[in-house]
Amino acid sequence: MTMKILVAVTRVLDYSAPVRVHADGRGVVTEGVSRAMNPFDEIAIEEALRIKERGSADEVVVATIGPSACQQQLRAALAMGADSAIHVESDATLEPLLVARILLKLVEREQPAIVMLGKQAVDRDHGQTGQMLAALWGRPQATYASEIVLSEATARVTREVDEGLEILDVDLPAVITTDLRLNEPRFIKLPAILKAKKKPLTALTLNELGIEYESRIKVLRVDAPPARPPGIRVDNVQELINVLKDRALLR
């Protein structure tokens, strides 16, 4: 039996770029801001490749949704070592439920044993897509994975929760979302980038997948967080204690 892993990736605003909000509150300024692969998704690709390299998977397929520029992130994933890529072309706003519905169509098409994706996108921080996909698919989910160990028909996932670490055994097929401490993605070398240009990349549309887009989220306004007040300088420890007491920060 062929073991296939489908990894979903998304193109986000570069997390190293400064975030600016339009003066009228209509959203974040995106003009002229560089884009990059979502860091959590990059970790998902790396983990899928490591699973394949250990002989526990036969194929890694990456998929993304968005405009034509998203193919840059797919080519980067192929350069990392993925076998093939799928680009679902769309200019729609990528709300979590829409992404989950599209991924379900790709699951039906590809029949993977694992769907892996980052726990959230760093530019929107919804953190809902993996959970929604699992619900639509009717399969188990393990989120915030910091370690993944596969057996023949199950995955043991160590996940980070508020109280510490939780270990789950889930039957395959399943959805797994990845956290920062799972691994460190590999560096892409030039020969791999050149080789990636020859790997298969399939383009699909929402119509071809039978998906009708309907926005369910309306953004009323976006505001930047308030500026932090300036700090103060104290001359000694006693003065610091007095200031903390005055601000009810110390009893």
The answer to whether 165 touches 158, Cβ cutoff 8 Å, is yes
Query: By mean pLDDT, which of 57-71, 118-132, 176-190 is the weakest?
Result: 118-132
Which segment of 125-129, 138-142, 231-235 scores lowest on mean pLDDT? 125-129
| pLDDT given for residue 229 in this prediction | 83
Please state the pTM of the whole predicted model: 0.84
Contact criterion met (CB below 8 Å) for 94 and 217: no
Q: What is the dihedral of CA 45, 48, 53, 55, to 10 degrees?
A: -170
Which residues have C-beta within 8 Å of that of residue 245, sequence separation ≥ 6?
251
Q: Which of 175, 37, 44, 50 is nearest to 107 (CA)?
A: 175
Which amino acid belongs to residue 171?
D
Inform me whether the pLDDT recorded for 192 exceeds 70. yes
| φ, ψ (nearest 5 deg) of residue 28 | -85, 140
Instruction: Find out whether 103 and 177 touch, Cβ atoms under 8 Å.
Output: no
More confident call, 22 vs 139: 139
Average pLDDT over residues 183-198: 91
Q: How far apart are CA 220 and CA 237, in angstroms?
A: 46
Question: Sorting pLDDT into bands at 50, 70 and 90, what band is 49?
Answer: very high
pLDDT tens digits along 11-44 = 888 777 777 888 888 877 777 777 888 999 999 9
Q: Mean pLDDT in the chain?
A: 90
Q: Tell me the domain boundaries of the chain.
A: 4-246
What was the pLDDT predicted at 213?
81
User: Looking at residue 8, what is its pLDDT?
Assistant: 95
Give the whole-angstrom CA distance, residue 81 versus residue 141.
25
Give the span between the Cα atoms of 89 and 97, in whole angstroms.
17
| CB-based contact 130:139 (threshold 8 Å) | no
Q: Output the six-digit token pair for 195.
A: 């080789």
Burial of 144 (0-12, 13-18, 19+ CB in 10 A): buried
For the ranges 24-33, 120-129, 130-139, the maximum mean pLDDT occurs at: 130-139
Ramachandran area for residue 66 (φ above 0: left; ψ -120 to 50: alpha; else beta): left
Residue type, 200: P
The pLDDT score that the predictor gives to residue 161 is 86
- Which of 145, 130, 143 is CA-nearest to residue 182? 145
Ranking 61-65, 131-135, 178-182, 246-250 by mean pLDDT, the lowest is 246-250
Query: Can you state the angle between helices 129-137 and 96-110, rounded to 10 degrees?
Result: 50
Arch. (CATH architecture) of 4-246: 3-Layer(aba) Sandwich (3.40)
User: What is the structure's pLDDT at 251?
Assistant: 76
Please say if the pLDDT value at position 158 is more than 60.
yes
pLDDT digits (tens, 9 = 90+) for 50-64: 999 999 999 999 999
Of all residues in the chain, the percent with pLDDT exceeding 90 is 61
